[in-house]
Each structure stands twice: as C-alpha cells, then as structure tokens.
Structure 1
Amino acid sequence: MDSLYEIIDSTLQTKNIVAKQHDIGVLRVSGMDAKKLLQGQTTCDITKLSAENGLYGAICSIKGRIISNFYIVQNNDDVLMIMAKDLVEKTLLHLKKYAVFFKTELVDEQDNVKVYKKLAAKNCEADSNVASNIFATTHDNETITLTIGHEPLEVQLLITSAKTDIEEKHQDLSALAILTARPLISLEQSETILPQWLNMQSTGGISFTKGCYTGQEIVARMQYKGKSKKQLALVTWHGNLDQTQAIVDEQAKNIGQLFFVTQIKDTYYAQIILNIDPSEVELPSFGWQRINTIATSLLT
C-alpha cells in the first residue's frame, strides 16, 4: 500500500507546480458592515480574519447543508471569498437576502480577479497542524498568497488582478492538490452535504465558539450528538474503473459515495464520503471492480 508521501515523491519529483484555476471564482464583499454580515452567515469566525490571516469556511442552509464553501482573505477593507465559479452567483443571491440590513456591497469579481494554485514539496519547518483555523496570508504587489495546507504537501492560492499573469509550471500535475484536506464543493453538490462530511470540523472550517449563524443548530447538533459517521477519505487506483457503480465493501454493502475524482496519467485520485469509520474499510470497490489502494484512511 502506497503512502501519501510515496505518491507525492514519485509524482512531484521536486517540481513546483503552478496552474490557473479556471473553475474558481471570487466574490467581493465590501463596505463597513462586510464582516458583520458574514459573521452571521458563515461557519468560520470572521473576527479572526485579517490581512495576515485567511480562513476556510462554509455558508449553510437552515438545514445545515453547505450552500457554498470557500477560502476567504482580506484585501484592504474588502473581503474576498474564493469558491467554485459556478457557486458565486448562488452565494451572492443568498447573501443579498441578508445584506439589505447591512452597509455592504456584493460583487462577482470573475472578470477582475484570477486565482492560481501553487504546489510544492512539504516545508518541514512549517506548522503542519491540519486542524488550524488560521491560514497564513501575504500581500506582494498585486498578488495575495494564501497558504491552505502544509500536509502532505504545501498548497497555496495566488489571488491576483486579471491584468497580472503568473507563469504556469507543470500544470498537468496540479491534480495532486486533491491530497489536501479542504475541498470546495460545486453547484451540483450544493445543499446536499453537511460540513462534517467534508471533515471541516477537523480542518479549521467550523468555529464552535463564534455564536449563531444560519444552520448553526444543525451543525452543532451533528458535532456533539454524533449522529452521522460520514466523513471524507482518499483512495487511489490505476486504470479505468466504472465510477457510476456504488462504493461497496467485501460483503457488497454500500459504504460511501464518490465526491471528487481526478487523474494524472493512469493513476486516479478520489475523495470519497464514507458512511462508516475509515478504520473499518479494508477492500473497497466500485461494484465488483476493486479500488487498488487506500492511500490514506482519513484526510485529517
């Protein structure tokens, strides 16, 4: 069984990867009440947001399902929310319902801001505590760099003006970013997933001390009463498998669902939402087609 580090070493081979994120969009929240609005609508504690500290969080429905999740940075007096491009409009419309009570403005910045992802070998000197809810942010000319993970490799988001071009490198290997523990959902997945199913309680995406926000009661109840075992795990395999098949165990019992999959050459990497504790998983498969390797049982 390959470890994450063996997979990374054999694929990365000391290369630095820089790739433009065509499926990522940016929502700008500005005005004197921008943070006050977001504090009542997000799972993360917006009071901890600053020029040096970024956050990871979600906006939930009253049923506790994720409408959209995001990385968030401060840009001067404005707040930038980085999320799936196909969720920017839905998020904007959701927040507008509450923004009428605040001095704030919401703007879709897809034509004015670009986002790149940079991957590199793990920085041994960096704090690799995956549970941290604070993410280092730096500002250099027109580029904001947000470090979203150190483990098992270093991943950064580069947020820059649409007029600024950053040289892309080895973008064919950018699929390795799936190994980080903080995925973003798409429009298709919106309002179908609880934050805990993506391990957001373990990866800094939920504050349980910040106070009320939409969906907070459901999210807190799930945390403290533990009614669902669902959580995110990572698997890899070689060659084409029928991904429309259910993920089952040796007894053909359904144990999870495919969340996201990508590939580099003939190796596939997938995040799956398991219905059972990852320690109980031995030989999962798509129907009768065996998944060759569990690279890690849990992405935390």
Structure 2
Amino acid sequence: MNTFSHLVASLLGQGVSTQNTQLGILRINGSDASKFLQGQASCDMTKLSESTGLYGAICSVKGRIISNFFVIQEQEDTLLIMNEPLVEIALNHLKKYAVFFKVTLSDASEEFAIESHFSASTSSAIPDALSEQLPVEISHESITLTISDSPTRATLCLQRKRDAAVEQVNEHMPAPSQAELLSLLTARPLIDVEQSEEVLPQWLNMQRTGGISFTKGCYTGQEIVARMQYRGKSKKQLALFSWEGDHDVSPTLLDSEGKSIGSVFKSARFNDLNVAQIILNIEPTDVDNFFLGGQAVTLQPLPYRLENTK
C-alpha cells in the first residue's frame, strides 16, 4: 500500500455497509424550528430543505463546539444527527434558548435505525471546499443523506423502527471495522462526548466542509468563530495520517526533533492498517517526517483543500 488510492481501495472492496449504533437523533419540531436553529447553529438553516441537508455545529459562547451534527428536514421535523451521548447534552443546552420560540425538543434516537454506507466515489477532483448543501432522498421507508463523495461516496440511511422486522435486520447487520476508517477519511467528523467544548470549528476544518456560514448573521459563539477566521490567530487544523502495525501508539504527534506538533483526535484500525485524524498546531508542509511516539506515520491527502482559507 504505497498510494492513497490503494489505501482507499483496500478498505472499500465492493462496498461497505454497517449499522451505526454510535449515532443518535435530536428532533426539533414547531413553526419556529428554523428561526430557532438559525440563532444556535453555525450553518445557514435557510438552506435546509427536504432535498438538501446541512453540516454544522452548536457552540458555546466561547465558540467551542458543544456538539456538531448533520441535519435533515422531514415534513415538520428537523432532525439533528450526532453522536448519541451528545444528544442529551445538546438538548439541555438548547432548552435554555427554546423557551422563547414555538418549538419542542426531544430525543428521537430510539425511533430510528441508522446505517452507514460506503461505495466508490463518483468524483476524482479535489474541490477547494465541500458544498454546504448535502443531497437528501426521502421515501416511505427511509431517509438517505449523502455526507461525502470523496474519497468514497458516504451516506447515512435512517429507517424508522416501525416493526420488529426492521429492528431484527439491523441487529444482525455486520459492523465491519473498515467502516470506521472510511468514515475518518471523509474528514468531516462528528465530535465525541469527551471532546465537547474542547475544540473550535476551524480546528476540524469546518470552514472548508460546509459547516460554518460567515454570511448568515449572529448565532451563539459566532463572534469567536468569525474572529478566528478573519484574524487567523490559530494554525490548528485537521489532518489525516496512516500507518501499519500497532494501534496502541502515543496520542501526541511529534516532528523529527521530538517536538509536539499535534494530537490524535480520532483513530481506527482494520487488520494491520491504522488511520487517524490529528489536530495539527503547525502547517503540515513545514514538517517532513511525523511520528506518534516511535511510530512513523504518513500524511494523507484531505478530500478538500485548506490553502487560502481566509
């Protein structure tokens, strides 16, 4: 495995599907749902429709991500897909502001079975930035959201648990570990509960993945997020790395002189291959060699560009 395309091909095979039990759903219902979220989410909620979803974040007043999410619209329901332990945290945070709007908030995680699907990409070009609007297909049986088209076509499929048959099928669906690695390669991450209020959106490249609108107006944390973008005081950014061998390595990324230059954000392993999303605190072009402890690791390309991010 000496190229990125070989890495992806070795993971993808003929396609990968898995039940995604890590994800949960926060439902917002009511006539003020869009207006309410417009003041809380980093993405532009006016661009949400039944045919286009969004990627965004709910931030604290300090601009730190409380939870980030993919959001879809199904009739009167606005559904925020996030890591399941964060549903309650986000719910409690949003309730403080919801009292001023005609909305109801609830945890809808138990109503849906969520599947992740990965197949061959239909695009070979690397865009400067990913689209804000994500394709959505809604049928009587399911809702399908395309979250990425590079380096693979990645989708989330939501099925309502209306009968025992749906639950039984999903309970017996295999959960191949290569799906975790393929998800990391999309470089459009969802934070885990231990990362809540620890990272700024730009540290996850959300300014390049459609997760931040700089034209929508005010939302909680917007002043800090905008200041970070236009004053450019932080070099922190998400990067992809891979290596073969032991998965139990140092969480701190080092240069050849042993200086700390980043930390592991998420990682996964399949067979002998490891992939990690790492938050760098330097420009990756400033360093030739990278190490996690004594393990040499290889910088891999992102499915979008970070140059000229201002």
Question: Fold match, TM over 0.5?
Answer: yes
User: Following the alignment from structure 1 to structure 2, what is the Cα–Cα distance between the partners of residues 269 and 120?
Assistant: 18
Do the aligned residues in 2 keep the contact of 1:144 with 1:158 (CA within 8 Å)? Answer: yes
1:224-282 Cα offsets, whole Å, 9 max, x none, are 00000000000011111543352110111110010000011110110000000121232
Match in the other structure for 2:7: 7
SS of the equivalent of 1:222 reads: helix
Cα distance in structure 1, aligned partners of 2:97 and 2:251: 41
- The answer to whether residue 220 in structure 2 is matched with residue 214 in structure 1 is yes
Secondary structure, counterpart of 1:220 in structure 2: helix
Q: Which amino acid aligns with 1:247?
A: L
8 Å Cα contact 1:144/1:159 also seen in 2: yes
Alignment of 1:96-111 (within 5 A): 96-111=95-110
How many residue pairs align between the two structures? 298
Q: Structure 1: how far apart are the matches of 2:174 and 2:120? A: 14
Structure 2 alignment gaps of length 5 or more: 306-310
For the residue of structure 1 that corresponds to 2:110, the secondary structure is coil
The separation in 1 between residues aligned to 2:252 and 2:238, in whole angstroms, is 16
Describe the shift of the 1:261–1:125 C-alpha distance in structure 2 as closer, same or farther (beyond 3 A).
closer
Q: Aligned residue for 1:19?
A: 18
Alignment CA distance shift 1:294-1:2 (3 Å): farther
Conserved? CA contact 2:269–2:275, under 8 Å: yes
Residues of 1 paired with 2:201 and 2:285: CA distance? Answer: 21
Distance 1:218 1:114, change over 3 A: same
1:115 corresponds to which residue?
114
| Aligned counterpart in structure 2 of residue 181 of structure 1, from 175, 181, 187 | 187
Q: 1:2 to 1:205 in 2, by over 3 A?
A: farther
Q: Name the counterpart of 1:150.
A: 149
1:294 to 289, 292, 299: 299
- Measure how far apart 1:161 and its partner are: 0.7
* Residue 46 of structure 1: aligned partner: 45
Q: What corresponds to 1:30 in structure 2? A: 29
- Tell me the equivalent position of 1:276: 282
Q: Which runs of 5+ in 1 are unaligned?
A: none
Matches within 5 A, 1:150-299: 150-163=149-162, 164=166, 168=173, 171-175=176-180, 176-291=182-297, 293-296=298-301
In the TM superposition, residue 173 of structure 1 has moved relative to its aligned partner by: 2.4
Kindly tell me: are residues 257 and 127 of structure 1, through their superposed partners in 2, closer, same or farther at Cα, counting changes over 3 Å?
A: closer
Cα distance between partner residues in 1 of 2:143 and 2:268: 27
Q: 1:39 to 1:297 in 2, by over 3 A?
A: closer
Indicate how the Cα distance of structure 1 residues 62 and 141 shifts in structure 2: closer, same or farther if over 3 A, else same.
same
Cα-Cα RMSD: 2.0
Q: Is the 8 A contact 2:23 2:114 kept in 1?
A: yes
Tell me how far apart the structure 1 counterparts of residues 128 and 117 of structure 2 sit (CA, whole Å).
19
Deviations 1:39-89 (A, max 9, x none): 000000000000001000000001100000000000111100000001000
C-alpha distance 72-218 of structure 1, shift in aligned 2 (>3 A): same
Distance 1:6 1:245 in 2: 26
The within-5 A match list for 1:59-98 is 59-98=58-97
User: For residues 146 and 245 of structure 1, do their structure 2 counterparts lie closer, same or farther at Cα, with a shift above 3 Å needed?
Assistant: closer
CA distance in 2, matches of 1:126, 1:296: 12
243-252 vs 160-169, which moves further: 160-169
Q: Work out whether residues 208 and 304 of structure 2, in 8 Å CA contact, stay in contact via their aligned partners in 1.
A: no
Q: Which amino acid aligns with 2:256?
A: E
- In 2: Cα distance, 1:128 partner to 1:279 partner: 19
Shift of 1:123: 1.5
TM-score (norm 1): 0.94
Runs of 4+ in structure 1 displaced over 6 angstroms?
Answer: 125-129
